[in-house]
Structure 1
């Protein structure tokens, strides 16, 4: 296996419709560690797939250097980079059996028959394909076809595995199953895996570290836990987490009080010092839905910051409920206890756990540390 270094990578494309150029990836620098499972995540057009394709050699960077292991691969053909790529489309040969699909790439590489047999048996065993080798792709489910596509990558025994949204064609239940299988596969292979997805749940489930991208810029690189707890800016805070973080227009009236509309909240003593430079200024308060409680069920958090809120709607999800209400122009979501109940239009006391709050600069949208 091998590490990957992206050094000041920029990729621009010609905009044929509007003329000129646009930047798909702007001055990105980071290292993917040997045997790491790293995930690129972000909305459509953020540059994540372009980054993956540059690692693969399917796109040539406009500037910067890419290293795989200790080699600069800028001018290296994809077939010489010792990588294997799994695409969103399974791209299996329909007229071939599963065994023949697995063998195909190895035969083109002039691999010996003994080695082909050994590698196909290994991939088939760890992916649970042994009983399907004589079938053709049309006889398999979507999840089974994706396993075959992964198997074609495994038999090559590459330095790096690249996955481009491989689960997006599967239904929700199969995606969950395949996520588990891919996580287990990484543990078995000890492989360097680079994975692209637009699904933040998928990213948080699979990634040891995650690269969050938006508009060609790397927003933050961190573990799932760090991204969730300490987002670098409002984009990361709003993109990571389901439901996403709530944002409130606020004013830091004193070092220890925060006003949101007519509501005055007390800032926890442990957080007062880090916000002292913003006293008297407008800020954005970020608070996750699970940090807003129905007062009746706020058993484990301070209850000094609470307000009577008129509820717009409630979604019953069984073990938990989602409550929707407005503060100012912002629609707010609270994820509350499953036994909590309120009718739309009624007011109820909700507790805001500001021990878990984030404040963001209103101009830069960066988190205030």
Structure 2
């Protein structure tokens, strides 16, 4: 089926991941995350197992303690398994309950994955920093912000010691904060963005997959950080102008379009795609001229194609959302081609997918059947 849409919607009231509200406790303290969701590399004894790592609680021995002393090379970990893809924006840690003043985690790092069959990913922020400060005693809880939110179905916390301190026993209780992932996105594949000037780099600086090219990862396109109208602003005060934007220059490789491919955790019923783009035409930046969308059940089974033509806008330089209705299109993979307009640069800061679960179990069984894919 081939669909031509000449009408597009611009809506400045559209939002993707809302970092202001995605900060709720995920359920470690409350028990919403059950004991079976906890695993660990080891435990000092049965009363200090992973299920005791609930913050502000006094379960059994008072927290998870690994069997070995922790130094700067330790590989002991506590693992949390979620039921669904989850966005993690904050982590709160606390030492062991009771009169164990030294039984706390001094530092830690994080690893995660969105598919239990894929390799683990080390968390690094945009500055490539991966170590978090933990606690200074066993009683007072400390909360740390995860600057680039983690999207995961499994998370590991690795206690570590600094290079200048001797190994010690470390114990942990914790809470995680965030929200469910509405997009159900596990990875995207895109060309790396281009540098515009010495202090303005439009590359995807937080991408957590392979880098040449960008594959099997997620990054700035789904981090909830919405780009401003003026690309020259340093909105985060990080010394990085236009940090929120990923952009491509048409003349670098004489290209006419940019391909983007998005992979989801299941076949879903899509009702809308939203792309946030820049239109600062006075700086040679323009919204895309055409959007080609192809949906797939898997890499080998094409379901549908859409073409959306956009009019040039030389009146407003406001950044805007482009909302594309999908009319309940079923897909597990979505391929988008963005065609350059008349300007030399094309920028996007966020992509959002609105979709629903497939409630018809018979249909879902048919879609997942081997006869469909092979």
TM normalised by structure 1 equals: 0.26
Higher Rg of the two aligned structures: 1
Identify the structure with the greater helix proportion: 1
TM-score normalised over the length of structure 2? 0.26
